[in-house]
Structure 1
Amino acid sequence: MNIELRDGLLFVSLTLTHEGVNETIRDMVLDTGAAQSIIDMSAVHSMDVSSRNEDEFVFMSGIGGRESALRKRIDHIQFDSYHMENAHLDFAYLDAHPGINGLLGSDILVSGRFVIDLNKMEVRQEHVK
């Protein structure tokens, strides 16, 4: 997958499928420092990401302080050719960061064994032989 460099940040996209609805989230920052991926609730237009009994509220801490998020099980995510079933993603309102629809974190990057190649501006899976 190609990486887009904008304003010093690395942008990618992620596709979610939940309860039969597909949604591609663009303008996600590739963030190896984020342990958990998070998506702006405002970026998910056609998918119901409201709170349900099985969901949990979590707190994230980072350079910007401490924020709450809703952790939901999503039926399917796809990042480039990598697929994950029953993935847990965090959702919150990221209004303080216009133009950023989320962070693609180490939870997906490590489980998919991704290599970030900044020379070629791409992220790809490393296949073990």
Structure 2
Amino acid sequence: MQLTLRDDLILTQVTVVYRGQEVEVSDLVVDTGSATTMLSTDVVAQIGIVPELHDVLHVIRGVGGTEVVFSRRVDRLQVGPRAVEQFEIEVGGIDAAFDINGILGLDFLLQTAAIIDLGTLRLDFSPGDGEGGENGAEHQ
């Protein structure tokens, strides 16, 4: 899958499925330095991912600062042909200084045996299911 380089950030897009609803999310930073995948509250609210009373809030810290997030398990997170079922994401606000909708973190990249080729700006996946077993399956 082709990646995009913008403002020195490597970007991709994902498909998120939650409770049978689907949304395409563009402009996610591919970030091997981020342990988890995080999506913008504004984008995932379109498919009903909103804070609920039972959600536990977490504070995460990174180069961009500190964010308060909640976790949600989605039915599927898909990048190109590779998808992970029942994948847990972090949901929170994204600093307006960055024109992005989230971060594709190491959790997804490892589980899907992702291969990032910086020479060609491509994101590919090792044959088979990667470390995720059946959760790192190819979807058509």
Q: How far apart, CA to CA, are the structure 1 residues paired with 2:11 and 2:73? A: 24
Aligned to 1:91: 91
Q: Which runs of 5+ in 1 are unaligned?
A: none
Residues 55 and 73, structure 1, Cα contact 8 Å, conserved in 2? no
1:1-129 aligned at under 5 Å gives the runs 1-44=1-44, 46-52=46-52, 55-127=55-127
Q: Name whichever structure is richer in helix by fraction.
A: 2
Residues 18 and 49, structure 2, Cα contact 8 Å, conserved in 1? no
Q: How far apart, CA to CA, are the structure 1 residues paired with 2:84 and 2:107? A: 11
Q: How far apart, CA to CA, are the structure 1 residues paired with 2:31 and 2:25? A: 15
When normalised by structure 2's length, the TM-score is 0.84
Letter paired with 1:24: E
Q: How far apart, CA to CA, are the structure 2 residues paired with 1:71 and 1:45? A: 13
Question: Identity rate of aligned residues, in percent?
Answer: 27
Runs of 4+ in 1 over 6 A off after TM superposition: none
- Give the CA deviation at 1:84: 1.0
Deviates more, 1:89-98 or 1:15-24: 89-98
Residues 55 and 70, structure 2, Cα contact 8 Å, conserved in 1? yes
Q: Which runs of 5+ in 2 are unaligned?
A: 129-140
Q: Name whichever structure is richer in strand by fraction.
A: 1
